[in-house]
Structure 1
Amino acid sequence: MRFLLIVFMGGGLGSIARYLVNKWVGGTLTSVYPYGTFLVNIIGCFLIGFLIFFTQRAGASTIFWRLFLVTGFCGGFTTFSSFTFENVELIGNQQLLLFFVYATGSVVLGLLATYLGILAARNI
């Protein structure tokens, strides 16, 4: 239960940070391009790479920080960072077919699922 609370707290802070970055970018740049989400995704990718490496190097005693920062904060900030890290791991482990299936399937099926969700909501 303690671990759930740690992830919950980090996720809440990550979600607030995502909102603030999007609000700041939206107030600074006016464009059709989703700069806020783009920036959040890139920052999140950098953070998850840095934090996973850093917490792995520090050892098992950092489980609190890994759950709080990686699973919680980065997960609340952007799940795109988890997606990209998993793909980097697949490439690093030379699991190229699995990488291709996962990356392509996630994007294509994610877009399809979003579109189908819109269609379903329209027909209610």
Structure 2
Amino acid sequence: MIAVFLTVAAGGATGSLLRFAVSNWVSAHWPQHFYLATLGVNLLGCLLIGYLYGQFLIRPDIPLEVRAGVIVGFLGGLTTFSSFSLDSLRLLESGQLPLAFGYAALSLLGGLLATWAGLSLARF
């Protein structure tokens, strides 16, 4: 069980560092569109989790350490609902109501669609 904890921790650290790097890059290049970093990693994470979940269903022989390290660790560290919530709140507080609601809707619907697309790719 210690191997599972270690792979989840390593995956989480890697995913968190990647999210941090993407956020810094977007903020440096498009500061007025800070929310695109969270949207991008969340949509990518949804696509990947759908695809990997499908692959893991097809290949139950893949070790638990790998499955947990990637899904719970890496993707859990990469995507985060708390960042999405903060970005939405910042847009609302700055009076950008249409953008805030559009961002929230696109994040939710886009995330569901990306997860479905990833699972469909895995089944293909």
TM-score (norm 1): 0.59
Identity score, percent: 32
Provide the C-alpha distance between the structure 1 equivalents of 2:61 and 2:41, rounded to a whole number of angstroms.
28
Q: How many correspondences in the alignment?
A: 85
1:21/1:75 Cα in 2 relative to 1: closer, same or farther (>3 Å)? same
Shift of 1:55: 1.8
Do residues 64 (structure 1) and 65 (structure 2) align? yes
Provide the C-alpha distance between the structure 1 equivalents of 2:80 and 2:63, rounded to a whole number of angstroms.
21
Q: Displaced runs of 4+ in structure 1, greater than 6 A?
A: none
**Any gaps of 5 or more consecutive residues in structure 2?**
82-107, 117-124
Provide the C-alpha distance between the structure 1 equivalents of 2:9 and 2:17, rounded to a whole number of angstroms.
12
Shift of 1:11: 0.3
Which residue identity is paired with 1:36? Answer: A
SS of aligned partner of 1:59: coil
What's 1:3 paired with?
Answer: 4
Provide the C-alpha distance between the structure 2 equivalents of 1:33 and 1:12, rounded to a whole number of angstroms.
22
SS of aligned partner of 1:9: helix
Per-residue displacement from partner, 1:85-107 (whole Å, max 9, x unpaired)? 7xx79xxxxxxxxxxxxxxxxxx
1:17/1:34 Cα in 2 relative to 1: closer, same or farther (>3 Å)? same
SS of aligned partner of 1:55: helix
Structure number with larger C-alpha Rg: 1
SS of aligned partner of 2:31: coil
**Any gaps of 5 or more consecutive residues in structure 1?**
90-124
What's 1:45 paired with?
Answer: 46
TM-score (norm 2): 0.59
Provide the C-alpha distance between the structure 2 equivalents of 1:34 and 1:47, rounded to a whole number of angstroms.
20
Provide the C-alpha distance between the structure 2 equivalents of 1:65 and 1:56, rounded to a whole number of angstroms.
13
What's 1:96 paired with?
Answer: none
